[in-house]
């Protein structure tokens, strides 16, 4: 799952001056024609750098995202939910594997990306810095955070870098099952016993602000990059994704008798746009810069997993290791 928004850093105006103008023109013409760029093709350094940054952040979001939901696997109520949630979170880890491989095609090894994650050098989706207090929180994530991720990822799957697009197509197909699973869970809670309904409403109240933050700061205040749009690295603006999400899911949430904790939220029928209370972007910045409720815990867990697993990875690299051919 991945939202976006926080991805791009401001670029130096001179960055493109160092590129070969002929190659650059050919590259841009290919993108204009809708061709995909492949790992061995010529590409500007800036394109490579921003893509690594974006795909890596996406991969990190998948493994960090496995934590708040993973903690509910051992507590999922009943066989059906337990099996489905295990498979769902496993998918997320699989997405990370797929995305690290896509990023590796651009020249950065997986180990290095994981190191940058645990040292805090590279980021992941902000929403996973919030805790999943109850089972209903995990249901909210499975349905609505995944829904938000699909909006963003479907857009990006039409981008210009071949390996990333192919990974995203597969990821979106799997995410669509997560969304069905999550919706099913939320329906059961929202239409269940009084206790279940209260649990679900409380989760919606807790997660709405992070959900509004999920797509990143408003286009009015975020770092613009026409060139990344032109190169089809970024395919839709933060506000476009947010509007699409609201349009698709607010009616579905209301339909279940749930309320959303923003009395200004409504669709302006004249403009066709959703209006809402401006999210607190100062909080967004604070959390993304490390001061959210779970930042430290998430990274500590990841660091622990890396450290505890180091001997295994070292052993696999030992020249004495017997290579055992896979049997199937």
Size of the site for other proteins (CB under 8 A): 53
Choice between 187 and 209, CB closer to other proteins: 187
CB of 90 to other proteins, least distance (A): 4
Among residue numbers 176 through 235, which ones bind other proteins (CB under 8 A)?
Answer: 185, 188-189, 192-193, 195-196
Answer yes or no whether residue 78 interacts with other proteins by CB under 8 A. yes
82 binds other proteins per the rule CB under 8 A: yes
When asked if residue 105 is in the footprint of other proteins (CB under 8 A), the reply is no
Question: Which region, judged by CB under 8 A, interacts with other proteins, from 76-84, 207-215, 221-229, 261-269?
Answer: 76-84
CB of 1 to other proteins, least distance (A): 14
Residue 319, classified by CB atoms within 10 Å of its CB into exposed (0-12), middle (13-18) or buried (19+), is: exposed
CB 242 within 8 A of CB 219: no
Least spacing, CB of residue 260 vs other proteins, in Å: 24
Exactly one of 10, 13, 17, 316 binds other proteins (CB under 8 A); that residue is: 316
Question: By C-beta, is 247 or 306 nearer to other proteins?
Answer: 306
Residues 108-167 that bind other proteins (CB under 8 A): 135
Pick one of 15, 83, 221, 229: the residue that binds other proteins (CB under 8 A): 83
Residue 29, Cβ density class (10 Å: 0-12 exposed, 13-18 middle, ≥19 buried): exposed
Q: Tell me the H-state helices in the chain.
A: 21-32, 45-70, 79-104, 110-118, 135-140, 146-156, 162-190, 194-213, 226-230, 238-255, 281-286, 295-308, 310-317
22's tokens: 């002929």
Best CA proximity match to 202, nearest among 216, 215, 189 = 189
For 214, phi then psi, to 5°, come to: -55, -35
Residue 17 engages other proteins in binding (rule: CB under 8 A): no
Contact call for residue 14 and other proteins (CB under 8 A): no
How long, in residues, is the chain?
A: 328
- How many CB atoms are closer than 10 A to CB 140? 27
By CB under 8 A, residue 300 contacts other proteins: no
Choose, by CB under 8 A, the member of 14, 74, 264, 271 that binds other proteins: 74
**CB 231, CB 32: distance < 8 Å:** no
- Comparing CB distances to other proteins, the nearer of 97 and 112 is 97
> Minimum distance from CB of 76 to other proteins (Å)?
7
Q: Which of residues 25-64 bind other proteins (CB under 8 A)?
A: 63
- 273 versus 304: smaller Cβ distance to other proteins: 304
The neighbour count for residue 184, using CB atoms within 10 Å, is: 15
Cα–Cα distance measured from residue 295 to residue 310, given in angstroms and rounded to the nearest whole number:
23
**How many CA atoms lie less than 13 Å away from 75 in the CB half-sphere?**
13
- How far apart are alpha carbons 89 and 137 in whole angstroms? 15
Query: Which residues are CB-neighbours of 27 under 8 A, at least 6 positions away?
Result: 37, 41, 42, 43, 44, 47
Q: Is 66 in the site for other proteins (CB under 8 A)?
A: yes
Q: Which stretch binds other proteins (CB under 8 A): 35-43, 90-98, 224-232, 287-295?
A: 90-98
Q: How many CB atoms lie within 10 A of CB 215?
A: 26
Question: Could you tell me which stretch among 32-40, 144-152, 227-235, 315-323 binds other proteins (CB under 8 A)?
Answer: 315-323
Residues at the site binding other proteins, with contacts judged by CB under 8 A: 63, 66-67, 70, 72-79, 81-83, 86-87, 89-90, 93-94, 96-97, 100, 135, 185, 188-189, 192-193, 195-196, 301, 304-305, 308-316, 318, 320-324, 326-328
């Amino acid at each position: 799952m991945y939202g976006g928004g926080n991805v791009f850093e401001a670029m130096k105006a001179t960055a493109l001056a160092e590129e070969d103008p002929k190659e650059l023109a050919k590259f841009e013409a290919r993108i204009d024609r809708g061709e995909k760029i492949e790992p061995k093709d010529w590409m500007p350094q800036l394109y490579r750098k921003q893509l690594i940054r974006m795909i890596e952040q996406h991969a990190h979001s998948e493994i960090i995202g496995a934590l708040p939901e993973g903690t509910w696997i051992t507590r999922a109520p009943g066989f059906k939910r337990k099996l489905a949630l295990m498979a769902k979170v496993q998918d997320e880890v699989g997405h990370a594997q797929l995305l690290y491989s896509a990023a590796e095609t651009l020249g950065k090894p997986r180990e290095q990306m994981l190191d940058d994650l645990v040292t805090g050098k590279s980021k992941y989706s902000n929403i996973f810095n919030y805790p999943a207090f109850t089972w209903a929180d995990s249901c909210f994530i499975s349905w609505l955070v995944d829904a938000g991720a699909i909006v963003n990822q479907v857009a990006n799957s039409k981008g210009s870098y071949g390996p990333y697009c192919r990974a995203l197509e597969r990821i979106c197909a799997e995410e669509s099952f997560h969304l069905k699973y999550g919706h099913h869970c939320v329906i059961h809670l929202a239409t269940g016993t009084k206790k279940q309904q209260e649990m679900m409403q409380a989760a919606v109240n807790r997660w709405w602000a992070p959900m509004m933050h999920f797509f990143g700061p408003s286009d009015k205040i975020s770092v613009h990059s026409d060139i990344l749009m032109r190169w089809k690295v970024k395919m839709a603006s933060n506000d476009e994704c947010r509007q699409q999400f609201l349009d698709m899911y607010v009616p579905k949430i209301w339909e279940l008798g749930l309320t959303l904790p923003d009395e200004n939220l409504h669709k302006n029928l004249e403009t066709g746009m959703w209006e809402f209370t401006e999210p607190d972007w100062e909080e967004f910045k604070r959390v993304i810069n490390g001061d959210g409720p779970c930042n430290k815990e998430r990274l500590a867990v990841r660091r622990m997993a890396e450290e505890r697993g180091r001997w295994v990875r070292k052993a696999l690299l030992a020249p004495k290791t017997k290579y055992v051919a896979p049997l199937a």
